[in-house]
Structure 1
Amino acid sequence: MPRTFSPLPPLRWLTLALLLVLPVLPGRAATPATGTVTGRVQNVVTGQYLNNAQVTLSGTTHTAYTDKFGVFQMVGVPAGPAVLEVFYTDLDRARIPIQVPAGGTVEQAVNLTSVARYGRDAETVKLDAFVVASDRETDSQAIATNEQRFAPNLKNVMATDTLGDILGGSVGEFLKFLPGVTVENDWADVAGISVRGIGGAMTSITADGAPASNIWATPTRSVDVRSMALNDIARIELTKVPTPATPADSLAGSVNMVGKSAFERTGRQLRYSLNLVGNHENLTLQRTPHSNRDHNTFKILPGANLDFTWPVTKTFGLVIAGTNASIYNEQHFTRTYWSATGSGTNAAAASLRNPIMYQYYLLDGPRNIVRNTLSVKADWKATPHSVFSLGHVASRTDTWIGSLSMTLNAGTNGTPTPATGLPMLFDARSTRGATGRGTMTNSGTNQLGNQITDTTNLTFRFDDGRWRIESGISRSASEMKRRYGDAGFFYTANATNRNPIRISFQDIDEDKPGRIDLFDNSGTPLDWREIANFRGTTATAVQTRNVNEVHNGYVNVRRGFNFLPFPTALQLGASRRDQKLDTNMTSEAWTFQGPDGRSGTTAPLDPYIMRVYRNVDSHYGFRNIQWMSPSRAWEAYLANPLLYGKTEAQRVTEANYAVDNYERLDESVQAGYVQAEAQLFNHRLRVLGGVRFERTLDDGQGALTDNDAVWQRNPDGSFVRNAAGQRVRKPEAGAVNSYAQFLLTRKPRAVFSHRTYEGYYPSLHLTYNVTENFLARFGYASTYGRPNFTDIIPRIVATGADLDDDDPDPPTGRGTLTVRNPALKPWTADNYDFSAEFYTAHGGLLSAGLFRKDIQNFFGDSARFATPELLATMGLDPRYVGWNVITKFNAGDARISGVEVNIRQSLRGLGRWGSYFTLFANGTKLDLDGQPGASFTSFIPKSGNWGATFSSRRVTLTARWNYRGLDRRLPQAAFGPDGYEYFKERITLDMNGSYQLSRRFSVVASANNVLNEPQTLLRYGSETPAYARQYQEAEFGIQMALGLRGTF
Structure 2
Amino acid sequence: MKKLLLTLFNVILCLVALAQNNGTVRGIVTDKDSKETLIGATVTLKNEKKTFKLAVSTGLDGSYVFKNVPAGKYEVEAKFVAYKDEDKDFDLKAGETKIISLQIESKSSSLDEVKISGKSDEGSDYKSRSIERKSDQVLNAVSARAIEISPDLTIANVTQRVSGVSIERSNNGEGQYAIIRGMDKRYNYTLVNGVKIPSPDNKNRYVPLDIFPADIVDRMEVYKSLTPNLEGDAIGGGINLVLKDAPDRLTIRANAAVGLAGTFAVKNNFTAFDHAGSAGLSPRISNGSNYTANISDFSNGGFNYQTRHTPVSTVFGFSIGGRSANKKFGALAAASYQNTFRGTSTIFYDTDVDRDTNEPALKSVQSRRYSIQQERTGLHTRLDYKFNKENKIDLYASYMNLAQNEFRFQSDTTLNLGRVGVGTGRVTNTYRSTRTVQQIFSANLHGEHKLADKLEMNWSAVYAKATANQPNQAILTIVTGRTAILDAAGNKIGSAQNPALFNSTGAAQSHIWAKNADEDKTGFLNFIYKPKIGDTKVEFSVGGMYRDKRRTSNYDDYSLKLSGSTTQVYDGNINNNTFMVQTVGGSLNDPLNYTFNEKIAAGYAQFKFTLGKLQTLGGVRYENTRQDWVTSAKGDQTVGAIGSNKYADLLPSLNFKYALGDKQNLRLSYYSAISRPGFYELIPHTGGNPDADYQELGNPKLKRITSDNYDLRYEFFPKQLDQLLVGVFYKDIKNPIEYALVNQATSIFYTAGNFGNASNYGFEMDFTKYISKFGFRANYTFTDSKITTPKTVLYRDPVTTSYTQRTEEQTRPLQGQSKHIGNLSLLFKNAVSGLDAQLAAVYTGARIYTVSPFLDNDVWQKGTVTLDLSAEQKITKSFSVYIKINNLLNTPSELEIRRPYKITTATVNQDVASQTIGENVFIRKDEYQQFYLLGLRYKL
Task: Supply the distance in 1 between the matched residues of 2:755 and 2:899 (Cα, whole angstroms).
Answer: 25
Q: Of the candidates 69, 74, 80, which is equivalent to residue 122 of structure 1?
A: 80
Q: Which residue of 1 aligns with 2:378?
A: 373
Q: Which residue of 1 aligns with 2:761?
A: 897
SS of equivalent residue, structure 2 residue 784: strand
- Alignment of 1:473 with 2:478, yes or no, is no
- Alignment of 1:695 with 2:624, yes or no, is yes
What does residue range 607-622 of structure 1 map to in structure 2 within 5 Å?
A: 609=572
Task: Supply the distance in 1 between the matched residues of 2:863 and 2:439 (Cα, whole angstroms).
Answer: 34
Structure 1 stretch 221-230 or stretch 358-367: which is displaced more?
358-367
- Alignment of 1:299 with 2:311, yes or no, is yes
- CA drift of 1:691 comes to 0.7
SS of equivalent residue, structure 1 residue 153: coil
Q: Which residue of 1 aligns with 2:787?
A: 930
- Alignment of 1:788 with 2:799, yes or no, is no
AA paired with 2:580?
G
Structure 1 stretch 555-564 or stretch 137-146: which is displaced more?
137-146
Task: Supply the distance in 1 between the matched residues of 2:753 and 2:254 (Cα, whole angstroms).
Answer: 53
- Alignment of 1:843 with 2:721, yes or no, is yes
Q: Which has the higher helix share?
A: 1
- Alignment of 1:644 with 2:579, yes or no, is yes
Q: Cα distance 1:887–1:493, how it changes in 2: closer, same or farther (>3 A)? A: closer
Task: Supply the distance in 1 between the matched residues of 2:259 and 2:742 (Cα, whole angstroms).
Answer: 56
Q: Cα distance 1:695–1:519, how it changes in 2: closer, same or farther (>3 A)? A: farther
Structure 1 stretch 161-170 or stretch 671-680: which is displaced more?
161-170
What does residue range 41-120 of structure 1 map to in structure 2 within 5 Å?
A: 87=34, 90=37, 116=63, 120=78
Q: Which residue of 2 aligns with 1:955?
A: 835
AA paired with 2:779?
N
SS of equivalent residue, structure 1 residue 226: helix
Q: Which residue of 1 aligns with 2:89?
A: none
- CA drift of 1:575 comes to 0.8
Task: Supply the distance in 2 between the matched residues of 1:201 and 1:191 (Cα, whole angstroms).
Answer: 13
Q: Cα distance 1:519–1:847, how it changes in 2: closer, same or farther (>3 A)? A: farther
Q: Of the candidates 358, 366, 369, which is equivalent to residue 361 of structure 1?
A: 366
Q: Which residue of 2 aligns with 1:655?
A: 587
- Alignment of 1:773 with 2:651, yes or no, is no
Report if the CA contact (8 A) 1:316-1:379 is conserved. yes
- CA drift of 1:598 comes to 3.3
Q: Which residue of 1 aligns with 2:847?
A: 967
Q: Which residue of 2 aligns with 1:156?
A: 140
Q: Of the candidates 596, 601, 615, which is equivalent to residue 670 of structure 1?
A: 601
Q: Which residue of 2 aligns with 1:260?
A: 244
SS of equivalent residue, structure 2 residue 157: helix
What does residue range 600-999 of structure 1 map to in structure 2 within 5 Å?
A: 601=567, 603-606=568-571, 609=572, 632-633=573-574, 635-636=575-576, 643-647=578-582, 650-651=583-584, 654-655=586-587, 658-681=589-612, 684-706=613-635, 751-795=641-685, 820-859=698-737, 888-907=752-771, 915-932=772-789, 936-952=814-830, 953-972=833-852, 977-999=855-877
Report if the CA contact (8 A) 1:231-1:307 is conserved. no
AA paired with 1:209?
G
Report if the CA contact (8 A) 1:703-1:795 is conserved. no
- CA drift of 1:316 comes to 0.5
Q: Cα distance 1:839–1:369, how it changes in 2: closer, same or farther (>3 A)? A: same
SS of equivalent residue, structure 1 residue 1032: strand
Q: Which residue of 1 aligns with 2:478?
A: 495
SS of equivalent residue, structure 2 residue 610: strand
- CA drift of 1:352 comes to 8.3
- CA drift of 1:1023 comes to 6.9
- CA drift of 1:764 comes to 0.4
- CA drift of 1:219 comes to 2.2
How many residue pairs get aligned? The number is 770
- CA drift of 1:989 comes to 1.1
AA paired with 1:588?
Y
1:979-1030 deviation digits (Å, cap 9, x = unpaired): 2201111111111111111111111110111121111111232676454522
Q: Of the candidates 380, 383, 389, which is equivalent to residue 388 of structure 2?
A: 383
Q: Cα distance 1:865–1:1033, how it changes in 2: closer, same or farther (>3 A)? A: closer
SS of equivalent residue, structure 1 residue 123: coil
Report if the CA contact (8 A) 2:191-2:241 is conserved. yes
Task: Supply the distance in 2 between the matched residues of 1:478 and 1:894 (Cα, whole angstroms).
Answer: 32
Task: Supply the distance in 2 between the matched residues of 1:520 and 1:381 (Cα, whole angstroms).
Answer: 94
1:259-298 deviation digits (Å, cap 9, x = unpaired): 2221xx4311111101102112334999975467422446
- CA drift of 1:563 comes to 3.3
Q: Which residue of 1 aligns with 2:896?
A: 1018
Report if the CA contact (8 A) 1:390-1:456 is conserved. yes
Q: Which residue of 2 aligns with 1:586?
A: 556
AA paired with 1:1030?
F
CA RMSD, Structure 1 to Structure 2 (Å): 3.9
AA paired with 1:895?
S
Q: Which residue of 2 aligns with 1:269?
A: 251
Q: Cα distance 1:817–1:1003, how it changes in 2: closer, same or farther (>3 A)? A: closer
AA paired with 1:667?
E
Task: Supply the distance in 2 between the matched residues of 1:369 and 1:781 (Cα, whole angstroms).
Answer: 39
SS of equivalent residue, structure 2 residue 756: strand
Task: Supply the distance in 2 between the matched residues of 1:884 and 1:981 (Cα, whole angstroms).
Answer: 21
Task: Supply the distance in 1 between the matched residues of 2:487 and 2:684 (Cα, whole angstroms).
Answer: 49
- CA drift of 1:141 comes to 1.5
Task: Supply the distance in 2 between the matched residues of 1:590 and 1:858 (Cα, whole angstroms).
Answer: 41
Report if the CA contact (8 A) 1:702-1:751 is conserved. yes
What does residue range 394-433 of structure 1 map to in structure 2 within 5 Å?
A: 394-411=399-416, 413=418
1:176-209 deviation digits (Å, cap 9, x = unpaired): 1112111121222322112112222221211012
- CA drift of 1:923 comes to 1.6
TM-score by length of 1: 0.68
SS of equivalent residue, structure 1 residue 147: helix
Report if the CA contact (8 A) 2:608-2:618 is conserved. yes
Q: Cα distance 1:887–1:408, how it changes in 2: closer, same or farther (>3 A)? A: closer
- CA drift of 1:766 comes to 0.3
- CA drift of 1:241 comes to 1.4
Report if the CA contact (8 A) 1:938-1:967 is conserved. yes
Q: Cα distance 1:1047–1:782, how it changes in 2: closer, same or farther (>3 A)? A: same
Q: Cα distance 1:466–1:520, how it changes in 2: closer, same or farther (>3 A)? A: farther
1:689-727 deviation digits (Å, cap 9, x = unpaired): 0111111111111244348xxxxxxxxxxxxxxxxxxxx
- Alignment of 1:282 with 2:264, yes or no, is yes
Structure 1 stretch 1038-1047 or stretch 177-186: which is displaced more?
177-186
- CA drift of 1:471 comes to 1.6
Report if the CA contact (8 A) 1:703-1:796 is conserved. no
AA paired with 1:677?
K
- CA drift of 1:408 comes to 1.3
Q: Cα distance 1:518–1:458, how it changes in 2: closer, same or farther (>3 A)? A: farther
Task: Supply the distance in 1 between the matched residues of 2:764 and 2:758 (Cα, whole angstroms).
Answer: 20
Q: Cα distance 1:163–1:126, how it changes in 2: closer, same or farther (>3 A)? A: farther
Task: Supply the distance in 2 between the matched residues of 1:549 and 1:519 (Cα, whole angstroms).
Answer: 70
Q: Which residue of 2 aligns with 1:1041?
A: 933
SS of equivalent residue, structure 1 residue 145: helix
Task: Supply the distance in 1 between the matched residues of 2:753 and 2:166 (Cα, whole angstroms).
Answer: 28
AA paired with 1:582?
T
Task: Supply the distance in 2 between the matched residues of 1:755 and 1:323 (Cα, whole angstroms).
Answer: 41
- CA drift of 1:120 comes to 2.6
- CA drift of 1:306 comes to 0.8
Q: Which residue of 1 aligns with 2:523?
A: 553
SS of equivalent residue, structure 2 residue 124: helix
Q: Cα distance 1:465–1:989, how it changes in 2: closer, same or farther (>3 A)? A: farther
Q: Cα distance 1:888–1:228, how it changes in 2: closer, same or farther (>3 A)? A: closer
Q: Which has the higher strand share?
A: 2
